[in-house]
Structure 1
Amino acid sequence: MAGVLHRAALRTSRLLQCSKRPSRYHNGSLFFSTSSRRPLMALTGFTETQLTVRDAVSQVCSQFPNTYWQEHDENERDPTDFHATLAKDGWLGIALPEALGGSGLGISEATMMMQAIAESGAGMAGAQSIHANVYATQPLAKFGTAEQLESTIPNIISGRCRVCFGVTEPNSGLDTLRLATAASKQPDGSYRVTGQKIWITCAQVAAKMILLARTTPLEDVEKPSEGLSLFCIDLDRSKHSGLDMRRIKKMGGRAVDANEVFFDNYAIPADSLIGEEGQGFKIILHGMNAERCLLAGEALGLGYAALARATQYAQERTVFQRPIGMNQGIAHPLAEAYMRLEAAKLATYHAARLYDDGSVPAADVGVACNSAKYLAAEAAFAACERAVLTHGGMGYAVEYDVERYFRESLVPRIAPISREMILNYISEKVLGLPRSY
């Protein structure tokens, strides 16, 4: 922690010195223009540590301009050097224990980091390249054995090992409790995994997977939430290992891979098990709420990036001998997009604080994290759509980036849980309405 924050403090000091001079449009997202030197997002209410993280991560991201992300999106090429740069400065361990080389900070700071990455112009692709390394490791860090932690966490933090998260399946979708991938225990204590996962991000470049599989058949448990187990497994891509991956062609975030993953009697050792057998669903919830906070931060970053682009264009684009931003038909939707982002920002960091608190009832944390993810995703989508429309025909051009942001803005509305399922959850858990599914 000390090393990361010391370097961050040095960067922050330099940034503060530079801020005394007129600043224009920093890396496409952080500032309005020469007419305003204040950040687009209001920074009041954040801790000094959060702001230090924001400034330092933004400076790291400034090494990767929008053209970098345009090229990687077009060529569907993994941003390996971006991941390596963040790992070099210790950012992948932001919310992992200091004893294992992490910074020991919370999801509040990690959310700020993910927002800064998306906001820099990296968008969802940049965030997703390290996303699982931050949240999928939370259950491992909390419930893993000392041996598991010492052999895995330092390698994740250093960037030598990348992680993917294996939960979603094609036939169960959001009905996680009815997933069919089975891990059958063998006489020697090891397991054999058979089944299929889908939409597994970064599986092509990951060395490890945090895998949720059923160890007791559904018909043999009293509750569907029982009999699921969590594993930290190696991904052996050798010819006869029983593991196969197929990349999915997708609309946005093309710089990071998404995959179907097939297991056919795939062998994993007994010490892959995280926590107690059959308690995987309870364990994985620890990571799911963290993921909702991180994804909300990423959505915010994407929305602010798009809004900054639209604002700059509205100031500079002249039609009928006047800047288009003078027209209320342009200005008012942008102002509304800003307010929606600011409101979602408050919900997001409120949820992150509750998650980090540790004493707040799990039900309250779940409501806050799901609400934040929903609000941030909707605000980001509205901002990205408005950015394209503000650019008019040029909003369709790759060089202006807003078309990429718009494509990627659909991700937080769909994943890791759909907006409709969040509405179902709030209806039942908060309003006390009958369960609809």
Structure 2
Amino acid sequence: MQSPSRVDDHQDLRDAVSDLCSRFPNEYWRRIDEKRGYPEDFVNALTAAGWLAALIPTEYGGSGLGLVEASVIMEEINRSGGNSGACHGQMYNMSTLLRAGSEEQKQRYLPKIATGELRMQSMAVTEPTTGSDTTRLKTTAVRRGDRYVVNGQKVWTSRLQHSDLMILLARTTPADQVSKKVDGLSVFVVEVAAAMKAGMVVKPISNMVNHETNEVFFDNLEIPAENLIGEEGRGFRYILEGLNAERTLIAAECIGDGYWFTDRAVRYSGSRTVFDRPIGQNQGIQFPIAQAFINVEAASLMRFKAAQLHDAGKPCGAEANMAKLLAADASWQAANACLQTHGGFGFAAEYDIERKFRETRLYQVAPISTNLILAYVGEHVLGMPRSY
């Protein structure tokens, strides 16, 4: 089955990524999931091919591509049956460094990220008591001479055990000393190996998806002042720019999942015969699959709109949020249609549907819940009263 939206200006890119992914079939991802492992070989292959350096400008050793192309890469990984969640952080975390980092920081880190010598897979923002209310975070970074001293706790900090660099958001000015609650937060590059030796403790969180994520504790962790990204106190704004990229890329992954589920459902419904007819001939099977496919196609268009605005340097918060919501809903609808089509076999690990079903369910909740997106659109797009 060929999606109309997948025959586009990026077909050569799609084919190249798909070819690499074909070396890592469903059996590979199933073994990784069963072991609760990390797809090291796959991530290394992506890095060697240059795909994880897509957003790094050519002068720093990257491919110099845009978010549009990065989204296609993420989509194709999930479309192949893989899981971009193991490596997508490198794409959107770099957005903060690329847009707000100093030239010295870019020269120090980007070429090594491009070659794979360093990985920047992790972002520490969320805290146990703040969740989506980021401006109330309690982790502090106090300037002392040429260093910042960090104390606090983060949660759901993903891929940290497979990352050399981490983006950290912390409060550098107390909340009661700023005129706007978005002020006084700053963002840093943390070198993970050094931090682990100097006061940072990492505790893995077991979860329903094979997703490496952690609690992180900071006890007087010292960070060089030169690791501050941009201006002190403006970190929340820098993070927001990165989050728009994150939501657009997550949307692309959900779109890839949506196509994977509909492909599987179509194939199975055509081959499974009950009462002397393929079950796909029955409208009760056919219509949910068709509806899911339509919704995936529509979400894909919004994804491209958000990515194009981002690449043009234009505001894209509304589009990125809407793309993420549409794609998450579409992939979840496709997952349910696929599982229902397969019946009991959909629960068997060898069919891979239950694995992908668990993976795509995450995106109803993270990295931003659908409810918060609706609240954002209600307030910032429709001009309705703030609901929280």
> Same fold judged by TM-score > 0.5?
yes
2:6 is the alignment partner of 1:43? yes
Q: Give the alignment of 1:200-211 within 5 angstroms.
A: 200-211=157-168
Q: What is the rounded CA distance, in whole Å, between the counterparts of 2:5 and 2:302 in structure 1? A: 14
Counterparts in 2 of 1:393 and 1:210: CA distance versus 1, 3 Å: same
What secondary structure, in the 3-state scheme, does the structure 2 residue paired with 1:276 have?
Answer: coil
SS at match of 1:236: helix
Amino acid at match of 1:57: V
Counterpart in the other structure of 1:233: 190
Query: For residues 395 and 366 of structure 1, what CA distance do their matches in structure 2 show?
Result: 36
CA distance in 2, matches of 1:243, 1:336: 48
Distance 2:196 2:76 in 1: 40
Task: Give the direction of change, closer, same or farther, for the CA distance of 1:268–1:409 in structure 2 (3 Å limit).
Answer: same
The answer to whether the Cα contact below 8 Å between 2:195 and 2:221 also exists between their aligned partners in 1 is: no
Unmatched segments (≥5 aa) in structure 1 = 1-31, 33-38
Aligned residue for 2:81, secondary structure, equals helix
Runs of 4+ in 1 over 4 A off after TM superposition: 237-240
Question: Residue 174 of structure 1: SS of its match in structure 2?
Answer: coil
Pick closer, same or farther for the CA change 1:301–1:89 going to 2, 3 Å.
same
Asked if 1:319 corresponds to 2:319, the answer is: no
Q: Is the 8 A contact 1:96 1:138 kept in 2?
A: no
Q: Is the 8 A contact 1:91 1:157 kept in 2?
A: no
Measured in 2, the distance between the counterparts of 1:42 and 1:274 equals 38
Quick one: which amino acid aligns to residue 79 of structure 1? P
Tell whether 2:251 aligns with 1:302: no
Deviation at 1:221, TM superposition (A): 0.7
In structure 1, what is the equivalent of residue 205 of structure 2?
A: 248
Cα 1:100–1:384 shift into 2, 3 Å: same
232-241 vs 338-347, greater mean Cα deviation: 232-241
The whole-number CA distance in structure 2 between the counterparts of 1:385 and 1:404 is 13
Match of 2:98 in 1: 141
- Whichever residue aligns with residue 137 of structure 2, its letter is L
Q: Is the 8 A contact 1:227 1:277 kept in 2?
A: yes
- What CA deviation, in whole Å up to 9, does each residue of 1:200-225 have, x standing for no partner? 11111111101111101111111110
Deviation at 1:41, TM superposition (A): 5.2
2:324 equivalent among 373, 376, 379: 373
Contact kept? 2:169, 2:186, Cα under 8 Å = yes
Corresponding position of 1:132: 89
Tell me if 1:405 matches 2:360. Answer: no
For residues 193 and 238 of structure 1, what CA distance do their matches in structure 2 show?
11
When the two chains are superposed, the root-mean-square deviation of aligned CA atoms in Å is 1.3
**DSSP-derived class of the 1:420 partner:** helix
Q: Distance in 1 between matches of 2:195 and 2:242?
A: 30
* Partner residue in 2 for 1:72: 32
Give, in whole Å, the separation in 2 of the partners of 1:348 and 1:384.
Answer: 19
Scaled by the length of structure 1, what TM-score is found? 0.86
Cα deviation code 1:33-69 (max 9, x no counterpart): xxxxxx245335x32xx22221111111110000110
Q: Equivalent of 2:244, from 289, 306, 311?
A: 289
Match status 1:82 vs 2:42: yes
Q: How many residues align?
A: 387
Pick aligned residue for 1:384 from 335, 350, 372: 335
SS in structure 2 of the partner of residue 42 of structure 1:
helix
Q: Which residue, 346, 352, 373 being the options, matches 1:395?
A: 346
C-alpha separation in 2, matches of 1:141 and 1:238: 23
SS across alignment from 1:121: coil
Deviation at 1:240, TM superposition (A): 5.3
CA shift for structure 1 position 239: 6.9
- Give 2:146's aligned residue: 189
User: What secondary structure sits across from 1:251 in the alignment?
Assistant: coil
- Tell me how far apart the structure 2 counterparts of residues 338 and 240 of structure 1 sit (CA, whole Å): 49
Q: Distance in 2 between matches of 1:53 and 1:142?
A: 25
Q: Give the deviation of 1:236 after TM superposition.
A: 3.0
List per-residue Cα deviations over 1:162-220 (Å, max 9, x = no partner).
Answer: 2211111111000011111111111x220111111111111111111011111011111
Instruction: Say if 1:95 and 1:105, in contact at 8 Å, map to a contact too.
Output: yes
Per-residue CA deviation, residues 132-161 of structure 1 (Å, 9 max, x unaligned), is 111101110122122211221122222222
| 1:221 matches 2:175 | no
The residue aligned with 1:12 is none
Q: Is structure 2 residue 62 aligned with structure 1 residue 102? A: yes
User: Separation in 2 of the partners of 1:162 and 1:202?
Assistant: 10
Q: Does 1:113 align with 2:76?
A: no
Which one-letter code corresponds to 2:15 in the other structure? Answer: D
Aligned counterpart, 1:151 = 108
Contact 1:237 1:243 in 2 (8 A): no
